[in-house]
Amino acid sequence: MSESPEQTHVVWHDNTISREQREQRNQHRGCVVWFTGLSGSGKSTLANLVDRLLFQRGVQSFVLDGDNVRHGLNASPELLASHGDSFAQRFGLGFSAEDREENIRRLGSVAELFASAGVVTLTAFVSPYRQDRAMVRQRVESSGGKGTFVEVFVDAPLAVCESRDPKGLYKLARAGKISHFTGIDDPYEAPQQPELHLSAGTQNAEDLACAVVDFLVQTSLITKQSE
């Protein structure tokens, strides 16, 4: 990006701003912190707490969770009805294994784009299948390098999650009113080697959020705070 001082116009050496340039400017890496666990384990709460801590440190971060993808990117067939029936049935996502696979594939692709933009990307999805998470890891690390995918297992016992039941979904699942519900009639495949394994049934969320931020500092994804 050398420019001779006598030039008055911007010089267009290379049109593309690289990921490294964005990371250097932001003073932290772009990466994906992938929270996985049962419904009610506290993934979304935790991701938002981490987001707040990162925001306070001046880090560019963002949370992807059901709240911001459910009506858009990964809308259900019902929500896509205005596009016509065949469109809605083909592209709308439900809870079958194939639909879940596409759900995570789209989210992983988007998380990778955010990481490429230099953002610490926090995702909060049940993402129950090991293979789907492995594919996201591969995509993220193939563009950002090893260590840019941080799998965080938000581990709370089913009984605890079910007693919290923040959206009343366990009750519906137990009553047979919804099916394919992870932990009830659909499996959850726990991570075997997550970067972080959090005991979310007992420890409080604030302490867990701090542990995630500490991990990001330890692995040099973000810098130690200078105070």
> Exposure pattern of 94-110 as b/e (b: 16+ CB <10 Å)?
eeeeebbeebbeebbeb
Smallest gap from Cβ 90 to its own copies, in A, equals: 6
| Calpha distance 60→127 (Å, rounded) | 24
Burial class (CB in 10 A: 0-12, 13-18, 19+), 204: exposed
Q: Which residue number, 67 or 176, has a Cβ lying nearer to its own copies?
A: 67
| Residue 149, beta-bridge partner list | 32
**For 198, phi and psi rounded to 5 degrees?**
-105, 135
- CB distance 143 to 112 below 8 Å: yes
Q: What is the CA radius of gyration of the chain?
A: 20
Smallest gap from Cβ 177 to its own copies, in A, equals: 27
68: its two tokens: 């911001």
Q: What is the DSSP letter of 81?
A: G
List interacting residues with its own copies (CB under 8 A). Answer: 9-10, 12, 15-17, 21-22, 25, 45, 48-49, 51-53, 55-56, 58, 60, 62-64, 68-69, 72-73, 83, 86-87, 90-91, 98, 101-102, 105-106, 108-110, 112-114, 116-117, 119, 139, 206
Smallest gap from Cβ 35 to its own copies, in A, equals: 14
Out of 39, 41, 61, 127, the active site residue is 127
Whether 127 is catalytic: yes
129: its two tokens: 């299948």
Smallest gap from Cβ 75 to its own copies, in A, equals: 8
| Calpha distance 91→78 (Å, rounded) | 11
Which of the residues are catalytic? 127
